[in-house]
Amino acid sequence: MTRKKILIVDDEKDIVELIAYNLEREGFVVSRAFNGRKAWELVNVEKPDLVILDLMMPDIPGMDVCRMIRRQDSTAALPIIMLTAKSDPVDKILGLEVGADDYLTKPFHVQELIARVRAVLRRSERKPDEDLPESFDFRGLHIDFKSYQVSVNGRPVELSSREFKLLHFFMGHPGRVYSRDQLLDRVWGDESFVEPRTVDVHISRLRGAIEPDPSNPRCILTVRGIGYKFADADV
């Protein structure tokens, strides 16, 4: 099996070497960058499978590097874990908003970081939503993607085309948190005059249709202050 390549980006060399040593012990191939410019170069030259990215760097901040990665088609889906001394919830929300897949604050436990690396890589290796199997089952929820039929514990439920598309998207990316703006971009696309509040309305309707208890959802979960996610199928 091909060994996964991890790019570590941090201007603190001791931290980079600590992470690199432990990742290499776990069988990963590691590249190092100590500033944003070098990180951007290595992202395009070495094509890593995942980037561990510090926020605070002297030249190009981590937030901007993350934006650059997400804006380029060839790297838009590259998994990113932000690693930073900033523990303010606002910074975490902003990091996830610009496209980070996960966020870990310093000081951190190396084994927790490795566990997160494995989890994010697992999610990234799942098939995209257009390649989902013909049907999907999760905690009593059954979806037939060919017939567009949905049932809960054997009971058929009616969904609008938009609700079905939203559910289809969520189920293709279990465990991944999406902000309202990201959901608008991926599910509503280029439609004009659609406000973020629209996402909340459709989530509420979707929960009312598929959740046994919409006030205590088990499938489509709220991540407070950030957005929504479909429960991780591995849980």
The residue with greater pLDDT, 5 or 143, is 5
Q: Mean pLDDT check: name the lowest of 3-7, 33-37, 50-54, 87-91.
A: 87-91
Q: Does domain 129-230 have CATH number 3.40.50.620?
A: no
The first and second tokens of residue 19, run together, are: 């992470």
Question: Cis before residue 107, ω within 30 degrees of 0?
Answer: yes
Domains of the chain, by residue range, sit at: 5-125, 129-230
How far from chain centre, in Å, is Cα 5? Answer: 18
50 C-beta neighbours (distance < 10 Å), count:
24
Percent of the chain at pLDDT > 70 equals 86
Q: What share of residues in the chain are helix, strand, coil (percent, to 5)?
A: 40, 20, 40
Q: pLDDT tens digits for 183-195?
A: 887 787 655 456 7
Interatomic CA distance for residues 9 and 15, integer angstroms: 10
pTM attached to this predicted model: 0.58
In CATH, what is the architecture of 5-125? Answer: 3-Layer(aba) Sandwich (3.40)
8 A C-beta contact, residue 58 and residue 11: yes
